Amino acid sequence: MSVSIKDVASAASVSVGTVSNVLNRPDRVAPDTVARVQAAITRLGFVRNDAARQLRAGRSRAIGLIVLDTANPFFADVARGAEERAAHEGMSVLLGNSDHLAEREDAYLDLFREQRVNGVLLTPTGMDDARIDRLRAVGTPLVLVDAEDADGRLPSVAVDDVEGGFLAAAHLLSLGRRRVAFVAGPLSVRQAADRLEGARRALDAVPDASLEVIEGEAMTVLTGRDIGRALAARPADERPDAVFCANDLLAVGLLQGAVILGGIRVPDDLALIGYDDIDFATAAVVPLSSVRQPSRTIGATAVELLLETLDDPTAARAVRFRPELIVRDSTARSRAQAPSEGRHAAVDREQCARREGRVVRSEEHHDA
């Protein structure tokens, strides 16, 4: 049986009002009385009913966070950053996983509205105008995470994924690789589509380079492993000599399928780069090159934007970070192909040098 506030009051020999003051306005209660009530709370194991208190106050101390895939370490790091920043404000974060499903996203939005959260941080399943209008109609303060509203109607924080895709592909081209494959989950995912667009821009500058697009069922390790096996089963002259994976989970899986199961040598036979720079990238059997996103900073910035919105409901600031190219063993220059890069290598190196320098510093852009 749960302990009530009346039980605490009886145990501490005070009124229910005094217990309420100790819980919510302890500065109004004598120190010895506060100590006596807190001792009773501890002894009885009382847990305050935040739901009822929130209904009375009209607002909770919680923030809702809805992401596309909680199994992806990138989103776990975003959540960690949001939690750390929210904790400084005395708030907590409630996490929901939409699993790329609009109906599940809608269910979480309804749930968080019923819980009277301070606001919602959302990585949306889609960004069409009708959906943006529905999100704005929810009435709860909303910040887009890892997404942008082109019309500036909602505050947002994101990374320039087009530039990130360009960085990855230009780096592969700078190694002399010309048969590039882009491996992704469904290209309906905005992040994957933007990274592909950036890769295409890099390859357009190199006439003798080709791009193969491989669209898997999901952006997971298992999907990457299946694609790696399929590539290994091809004749050597029909395989790409470089692969850009839309995230690190795909790259880790492809590495397993191609190297461990397929016998392909990375980077000698195949240069491989991922995206996100999750912890698994450094721990892979061949440490993975990757395009880094400041995931924790994204989460923390989302909370800051929400706080701005709470102070000024008309605020709709957009923050965009630049990605960083992180070079590791999976794209090390092969001794066998180093001298024969071709006439476009200098162009590739020049394009990368401005952005790469081994690691490109993250830079924040504030849009109006």
Domains of the chain: 5-48 (no CATH), 57-160+296-321 (3.40.50.2300), 161-292+323-362 (3.40.50.2300)
Nearest to 79 by CA among 16, 165, 25, 146: 146
pLDDT digits (tens, 9 = 90+) for 251-263: 999 999 998 888 8
The neighbour count for residue 206, using CB atoms within 10 Å, is 22
Structure tokens at 326: 């992180």
**Collapsing DSSP states into helix, strand and coil, what is residue 292?**
strand
CA distance to 37, 264, 271, per residue, from 229 (Å): 65, 10, 16
* Residues 277/63, Cβ–Cβ less than 8 Å: no
Read off the pLDDT band of 244 (50, 70, 90).
very high
Q: What is the pLDDT, as a whole number, of residue 40?
A: 92
Tell me the HSE value of 94 on the side-chain side, using a 13 A CA sphere. 17
Is the pLDDT at 184 greater than 80? The verdict is yes
* Residues 275/168, Cβ–Cβ less than 8 Å: yes
Give the whole-angstrom CA distance, residue 60 versus residue 111.
13
CA distance to 4, 161, 237, per residue, from 268 (Å): 68, 27, 14
Give the whole-angstrom CA distance, residue 342 versus residue 15.
85
Mean pLDDT computed over 174-189: 95
Give the whole-angstrom CA distance, residue 282 versus residue 314.
42
* Residues 299/77, Cβ–Cβ less than 8 Å: yes
pLDDT digits (tens, 9 = 90+) for 67-85: 999 999 999 999 999 999 9
| Amino acid present at 46 | F
Instruction: Using a pLDDT cut of 90, give the percent of the chain over it.
Output: 60
Q: How far is CA 326 from the centre of its chain?
A: 17
**Collapsing DSSP states into helix, strand and coil, what is residue 1?**
coil
Give the whole-angstrom CA distance, residue 267 versus residue 288.
10
User: What pTM was computed for the model?
Assistant: 0.75
